[in-house]
Structure 1
Amino acid sequence: MTITFATRHFRAEREADWARLEELLTRLETKSPRRLSDEDLVDLPRLYRATLSSLSIARATSLDASLVGYLEALSTRAYFALYSAREPWMRQVKAFFTTAWPRSVRAIGPELLLATALLILSAVAAYHLVRADPAWFPAMISPEMAGGRDMNASAATLRESLYGKPDQGGLEIFATFLFTHNAQVAIMAFALGFLFGIPTIILAVQNGALAGAMFAAFVPHGLGWGFFAWLMIHGTTEIAAIAIAAAAGIHIGRAVAFPGERTRMAAAADAGTRGAIVMIGVILMLLVAGLLEGFARQLVTDDAARLAIGGTMLALWSLYFTIGGRRGAA
């Protein structure tokens, strides 16, 4: 009788809160969260905590099993409603592009400046090395990647590679290959960042040197400007993507090397979360670059048009990462 009386008294004191929580959960599960008022949204976590408190007391005082079971089920429903609810898929996609991605890229701004500097300086250094001694060329670019565009190639061969039309069906294959290759480079630059960023820096230098060495092959034949336009049409997107991926890797490496007051694990986890957001966008950028490289670059053979497309893409990316997600930022 004592337990029955205690149970009834316990219910009488708290049952209104349980009923209110159950009613809110039912509305949340059967209708859109937008249908809940501001008062409902404030009540939901408060009622959840009150129910957990009731469950704790019920277990500690050995109240009847049916009441404990009811409170466990209600607490579980509330937990999933509060912590497992997800925004609609399209809203998540919108939030990624309008807020999460550009803010994350700006958050690694110092590392992005370093990665960009590494790409540019290594390209300049490689150009001068190869011009001074052509034997450096095969050390920087494999014969498979050069595809005959090396220091021994004739002006006609190099010109054909810039302005010639590929065989039918070659564009799709070329685009797929380039997207796969560049995505692998970007992912490696990011993934190896935990090794204090050193492998990432090496990859950035290698990619910059590759571009510089190629310039050294074209410039002596008076095709430097043509090669620049040929590269520009997709390079402003592709090189930007690789620079951002390298910056994300360096960001993780810096967090591991200099965690500050946090543990290395906590610092790396925080940097890794930010880097993962950045890398989703990088893959999308490389997909765009692959399409430009495999289609637009081969179909558009006028240097001015190529420069216009490349310059437009550079302006769009710069504007997007500069102002994207600033509205409502803390």
Structure 2
Amino acid sequence: MREAAFAKQNKDKWLRFESVLRNNVQIHPDELSALYLEITDHLSYAQTFYPQSNTLQYLNGLSVLAHQKIYKTKRESRSRFITFYTQEFPLFFSSYHKQLLIAFITFLLFSLIGAYSAATDGNFVRLILGDGYVNMTLNNIEKGDPMAVYKDMNELNMFLGITINNIRVALLAFSFGIFLSLGTLFILMRNAIMLGSFQYFFYDQGLLWESARTIWIHGTIEISVIIIAGCAGLVLGNSILFPGTYTRRQSFVRGTKDGIKILLSTIPFFIIAGFLEGFVTRHTEMPDWLAILIIGGSLFLILFYYVYYPIKLKKDHERLRAV
């Protein structure tokens, strides 16, 4: 369809919608949301077929105005907290799987670099983990309890301390995205190198399985969610680098809001990871099958919620819109 025909076909609807928004005409929030969805569909169509056009600029401005209006007037239901985690966020997150993949590949790559560096330089582990931690662990190994570090602190204190620290790391991974995404990549790199050298250290001591079955009880969720926080940082940084059809300021505001939304989704998982590290990891006497069950269940939970379920919701949503 030519741009002129597209604009003529929808002009009256756009003008009516703009009048509602600019004149603060009171309509039902659900009706406003429906109009907003239709405008975003038209915006998407214009982005595809009429790039750099006046129609695209007009629809872009109209969608921004509508977004602001909706979130100022829409009354939140009592079940919003539940629907955010079960419907709203997973569908929203399906748009950011590319950033998630970049964060994952970055973390995996530097974990391997950390392990390789530890293997080729005898002092690298001490440089990264510190002499105090290495000496304490070697002493625990000599005593026959290499994972004793997870038993030193009271369960509740450890749970609270670990959860707060993990949230702090996630906030850093997100907020450093403001440095054009490079800050986020740096935080991911630093934590990945630490993990890689840490695992190689236990491998070098002949304790790879003993360490892995213990550490990944809580680490599966903990590391996964740090990567997801890195994804949020990339969303923030990329909003500055690649504003698209928005002004850089509009893009930055959207990127910040979307990044914060991704961060909010991780809070329950950080609590779970902190609980596992504080109350479960310390039980190194548990049978291997139980440790594997916890690790496998944690991995399934992360992959289901952040990968499979968003894709499924997106496909279902597109199918409904096509009907």
Same fold (TM over 0.5): yes
- 1:137 equivalent to 2:163? Answer no
Contact 1:252-1:272 at 8 Å conserved across structures = yes
Equivalent residue, structure 1, for 2:207 = 223
Please state how far the C-alpha of 1:175 moved relative to its aligned partner.
1.6
- 1:88 equivalent to 2:83? Answer no
Equivalent residue, structure 2, for 1:106 = 94
Equivalent residue, structure 1, for 2:64 = none
Normalised TM-score (structure 1): 0.69
Please state how far the C-alpha of 1:154 moved relative to its aligned partner.
6.5
Please state how far the C-alpha of 1:291 moved relative to its aligned partner.
0.5
Contact 1:141-1:210 at 8 Å conserved across structures = yes
Contact 2:117-2:124 at 8 Å conserved across structures = yes
Alpha carbons of 1:131 and 1:154: their partners in 2 closer, same or farther (altered >3 Å)?
farther
Cα deviation 1:240-289 (Å, max 9, x = unaligned): 11000001101111121121232111111112221111101112211111
Equivalent residue, structure 2, for 1:3 = none
Matches within 5 A, 1:249-264: 249-264=233-248
Distance, in Å, in 2 between the alignment partners of 1:132 and 1:194 is 35
Aligned partner letter, 2:263: M
Alpha carbons of 1:165 and 1:193: their partners in 2 closer, same or farther (altered >3 Å)?
closer
Contact 2:140-2:148 at 8 Å conserved across structures = no
Gaps of 5+ in 2: 1-25, 36-68
Aligned partner letter, 1:138: R
Aligned partner letter, 2:229: A
Equivalent residue, structure 2, for 1:75 = none
Please state how far the C-alpha of 1:207 moved relative to its aligned partner.
0.7
Aligned partner letter, 1:267: S
Please state how far the C-alpha of 1:165 moved relative to its aligned partner.
7.5
Contact 1:229-1:304 at 8 Å conserved across structures = no
Cα deviation 1:97-149 (Å, max 9, x = unaligned): 11222223322211111111111111111111112112112322234665723
Alpha carbons of 1:314 and 1:188: their partners in 2 closer, same or farther (altered >3 Å)?
same
Aligned partner letter, 1:314: L
Equivalent residue, structure 2, for 1:213 = 197
Distance, in Å, in 1 between the alignment partners of 2:295 and 2:92 is 24
Alpha carbons of 1:257 and 1:283: their partners in 2 closer, same or farther (altered >3 Å)?
same
**Corresponding residue to 2:109 among 109, 121, 132:** 121
Contact 2:140-2:147 at 8 Å conserved across structures = no
Equivalent residue, structure 1, for 2:5 = none
**Corresponding residue to 1:271 among 255, 258, 278:** 255
Alpha carbons of 1:185 and 1:108: their partners in 2 closer, same or farther (altered >3 Å)?
same
- 1:204 equivalent to 2:188? Answer yes
Report the aligned-residue RMSD. 3.0
Equivalent residue, structure 2, for 1:305 = 290
Contact 1:118-1:204 at 8 Å conserved across structures = yes
* SS class of match (2:282): helix
Equivalent residue, structure 1, for 2:231 = 247
Equivalent residue, structure 2, for 1:316 = 301
Equivalent residue, structure 2, for 1:10 = none
Gaps of 5+ in 1: 1-24, 26-32, 46-79
Distance, in Å, in 2 between the alignment partners of 1:164 and 1:142 is 15
Please state how far the C-alpha of 1:293 moved relative to its aligned partner.
0.9
- 1:156 equivalent to 2:145? Answer no
Aligned partner letter, 1:156: E
Aligned partner letter, 1:96: F
Alpha carbons of 1:131 and 1:268: their partners in 2 closer, same or farther (altered >3 Å)?
same
Aligned partner letter, 1:166: K
Alpha carbons of 1:82 and 1:297: their partners in 2 closer, same or farther (altered >3 Å)?
closer
Equivalent residue, structure 1, for 2:267 = 283
Distance, in Å, in 1 between the alignment partners of 2:238 and 2:72 is 32
Cα deviation 1:142-196 (Å, max 9, x = unaligned): 34665723xx557335x514268725x6121122211111110100110111110
Distance, in Å, in 1 between the alignment partners of 2:196 and 2:106 is 12
Contact 1:100-1:277 at 8 Å conserved across structures = no
Distance, in Å, in 2 between the alignment partners of 1:182 and 1:248 is 15
Distance, in Å, in 1 between the alignment partners of 2:265 and 2:166 is 14
Number of residue equivalences = 254
